[in-house]
A and B are shown apart, each in its own frame.
Chain A
Amino acid sequence: MTFPSQVLAILWKDIRCELRSKQTWISMGLFALLVLVIFNFAFDLRVDNKAAIAPGALWVAFVFASLLGLGRTIATEQEKGSMDRLMLCPVDRKAIYLAKLLGNMLFIGVVEIVALPIFAVLFNVPLFTGELLPIVLLGTLGIASIGTLFSAIAAATQAREMLLPILVFPLIIPVVIGAVRATGTLMVPSINEPPWLGLMAAFDVIFLSISMLMFEYVIEE
């Protein structure tokens, strides 16, 4: 079986299992909504300063929702503490990583699709521009590429819910800065803005490759 078809086979299997068990994506969608509602009360968004806070609020909501989902996709593979059923197969471990990565991005994507329109409504912010898509894509890819690798690491420990954010947050800071600034520039254009999309793209390429290579060291016993 070719590498891409291995990735798709695992991804499709994950999607089917997830749809039938209904555990992860419903809670993630609800979580994103809750965060946005809380932000509405936490931040006093008068017309003049909302542009400063809205991008940050949006991306914090995405990051927290991602962390929730990241733990789940690896956890569902671990039936009673081991990934034996997948590890027995002669499937390239890099393909497993990519399949898990795409699965994570799909779940986070569901959250984003739910959250963005609500966000636009709650904060009265025009977000339906085509330029938002690359920002959201690159940002999500950055968070997910690091997050997928570290969810496999944290899954082996008892305190995985606590450890995963501690490990992932510092490492994804360039992506968060870039995504927030790029989103902010969309809402309020400014000159002499550094090439945030370029930074995010470089980050994604580098860490996707490295995480893919390192993944097998982390899941093999």
Chain B
Amino acid sequence: MALVKRETSVEQGEAKAGTKRQETGFPVVSAILGTLSLIGMMVSIWMIFLYAPTDAIQGEPQRIFYFHVPMAWLGMLGFVVVAIAGIGYLMRKDERWDWAARASAELGAFFITLALITGSIWGKTIWGTWWTWDARLTTTLILWFIYIGYLMLRSYMGRTPASARAGAVLAIIGIIDVPIIYESVNWWRTLHPAAQVGVQGALPSSVVLTLMVSLTTFTLLYSFLMIQLYQLQRAQTLAQQLRASIE
């Protein structure tokens, strides 16, 4: 009888190679980004409330602009990252790309929700209504729906390769669609001129500077949070694997 040993040669090789790849370097980068974000936040808040001039037409509420724009920007950026991570996963089949995709999806959804809320509040102060079908706000709302669809899809399909592929496809289609959606809503809006949320005319340099600082700070915050959520995704995957191997 030629009984083969219980443990295959493949498994023995793996045991010798040591534990799985370590993610080195993240704690350092994370600390740097965290500190920079904190400093940036303090500077930004000072600039937004004390340094930037008061808008002649809209008054103090216009300062929401310095929060709303970066949040909308992060909502867009977040989705671009999900799409790029999706492409990366489809090409490399490495689940770390998928961790990045899920992390960015959660972050982006969070920021785009805030963008919607701040945009709505801003619209209320200018026009007296909580919602206007302005092209940018509408596209933000549609992007919000796409985010929610993505999160629901990933949640229903679990942590499988099929789920990662489906998410990647949704993100790729979504990111190409968003500019088209924006344009079509814009065209539609020219027939239904409605209240527009935004800042008109040339902007003084102090406003531009404040906006740039705010944008940079929020982007730093996004990067810092990305690392945290990425680590969280990794931990969740490893936990699931451990649980499955015990059963």
Contacts and interface: CB of A to CB of B under 8 A. Distances in A.
Given A158-B156, A163-B152, A166-B152, A218 B165 contact: yes
Interface stretch (A23-31, A79-87, A128-136, A203-211): A203-211
A194 interface: yes
Contacts of A199: 180, 183-184, 187
B173 A211 contact: yes
Nearest to B186: A194
Given A170-B142, A203-B180, A211-B173, A218 B166 contact: yes
Interface stretch (B41-49, B98-106, B143-151, B228-236): B143-151
A207 B173 contact: yes
Interface in A181-221: 181, 193-194, 196, 199, 202-203, 206-207, 210-211, 214, 217-218, 221
A194 to B, nearest CB: 4
18 contacts: A149-B173, A163-B153, A163-B156, A167-B170, A169-B145, A170-B181, A174-B181, A177-B185, A181-B191, A194-B187, A196-B187, A199-B180, A202-B180, A203-B180, A206-B176, A210-B173, A211-B173, A214-B173
A152 to B, nearest CB: 9
A146 interface: yes
Contacts of B84: none
A113 interface: no
Contacts of A169: 145
Given A159-B156, A214-B172, A174 B180 contact: yes
Nearest to B142: A170
Contacts of A202: 180
A173 interface: yes
Nearest to A162: B152
Nearest to A207: B173
Given A149-B173, A170-B142, A196-B187, 8 more contacts: A146-B173, A157-B156, A167-B149, A170-B181, A171-B173, A171-B174, A174-B180, A218-B165
A106 interface: no
Given A153-B153, A173-B181, A217 B168 contact: yes
Contacts of B94: none
B207 interface: no
A177 B90 CA distance: 32
Interface string B153-169: 10011000010011011
A159 B185 CA distance: 30
A217 B187 contact: no
Contacts of B166: 153, 156, 218
A163 B143 CA distance: 16
Given A194-B187, A199-B187, A203-B180, A156 B157 contact: yes
Interface size band for A = 20 to 34
CB-based closest 3 A-B pairs: A174-B184, A194-B187, A170-B145
Nearest to A195: B187
B190 interface: yes
B162 A156 contact: yes
A177 B172 CA distance: 22
Nearest to A170: B145
A196 B183 CA distance: 11
A102 to B, nearest CB: 20
B174 A217 contact: no
A55 interface: no
Contacts of A211: 173
Contacts of B170: 150, 153, 167
A214 B170 CA distance: 10
B176 A177 contact: no
A139 interface: no
A38 B145 CA distance: 27
A178 interface: yes
Contacts of B172: 210, 214
Given A156-B157, A177-B188, A218-B166, A166 B176 contact: no
Interface in B17-41: none
A178 B183 CA distance: 11
